[in-house]
Homo-oligomer: A and B are copies of this chain.
Amino acid sequence: MSKGTETRNRIIAKAAPLFNRKGFEGCSMQDIVEAAGLEKGSLYGHFPTKEALALAAFEYAWHETCAVLTARMDTVANAVEKLKIHVDNAVSRASFPGGCPLLNTITDTDDGHPAIRRMARDAFREWRSLLESIVKEGQARKEIRADIEPADVVALMISLLEGAMVLDRLEKKSGFREKAGRHVMSYLDSIALPQA
């Protein structure tokens, strides 16, 4: 890997948590160069603008988060089991500094920065598609009740998990994430079909 790419990656890796914690406006280029250990002018060669850097940072943060969320899912075949692992990852393992990059980016770019917002929306759609396809596969394989609307399952999972993750940051010991996890787990049980 070339030196420039290395530096670029370092910048992104250092910038992503900052953007995620402080938001686009709340995070200055100065903060980033200090975190990355280089000087202001050096950024220009790698990212022409702050928005370009924020885009790359979100991409990185979401990629990292997705890796955690989807980990170990392919170790099981059953759709419900897959989803449970996903939930467990979200509840117990996901911990990008500053909270869920997707949710943070949505609230941060509510006004302005359409390019970043678009990227967040795409990430969101991918996430939904992934879960939906698992649900559908499960239905095809008689693991999940056929009368269930896949979109409803996905909506519950994502909404509840995201909401709990945000609120958990306000009160560290409230245990919202665990509660959300338990609720989803029992919901998944309620839509599962008994396997032979």
Known A-B contacts A23-B25, A111-B22; the reply to A179 vs B152 at CB < 8 A is yes
Contact B106 A166 (CB under 8 A): yes
A174 (CB) vs chain B CBs: closest residue: B155
**A156 contacts chain B at the CB level, 8 A cutoff:** yes
Are A183 and B162 in contact (CB-based, < 8 A)?
no
Per the 8 Å Cβ criterion, residues 86-136 of A in contact with B are 98-99, 103-104, 106-108, 110-112, 117, 120-121, 124-125
Which residue of the partner chain, among B23, B159, B183, contacts A163 with CB atoms under 8 Å? B159
A169 at the interface (CB under 8 A from B): yes
Q: How large is the interface on A (under 10, 10 to 19, 20 to 34, 35 or more residues)?
A: 35 or more
User: Are A155 and B179 CB-contacts (below 8 A) given A110-B21, A162-B163?
Assistant: yes
CB distance from A119 to the nearest CB of B (A): 11
Expressed in whole angstroms, the Cα–Cα distance for A121 and B25 within the complex equals 23
In the bound assembly, the distance between CA atoms of A25 and B109 in angstroms comes to 12
CA distance A111 to B175 in the complex (A): 21
In the bound complex, how far is the Cα of B26 from the Cα of A161, in angstroms? 27
Q: Are B124 and A110 in contact (CB under 8 A)?
A: no
Residues of B within 8 A of A1 (CB): none
Q: With the chains together, A103 CA to B168 CA distance in Å?
A: 11
**Does A176 count as interface, using CB distance less than 8 angstroms?**
yes
A158 CA to B166 CA, complexed, in Å = 11
Q: Which residues of A contact B (CB under 8 A)?
A: 21-26, 98-99, 103-104, 106-108, 110-112, 117, 120-121, 124-125, 151-152, 155-156, 158-164, 166-167, 169-171, 174-176, 179-180, 183
Q: Which 10 A-B pairs have the closest CB atoms?
A: A163-B163, A159-B163, A25-B26, A25-B25, A159-B164, A162-B163, A155-B179, A21-B111, A107-B107, A160-B160
Apart from A23-B25, A106-B169, what are 6 other A-B pairs with CB-CB below 8 Å? Answer: A25-B25, A99-B107, A152-B179, A155-B174, A158-B167, A160-B160
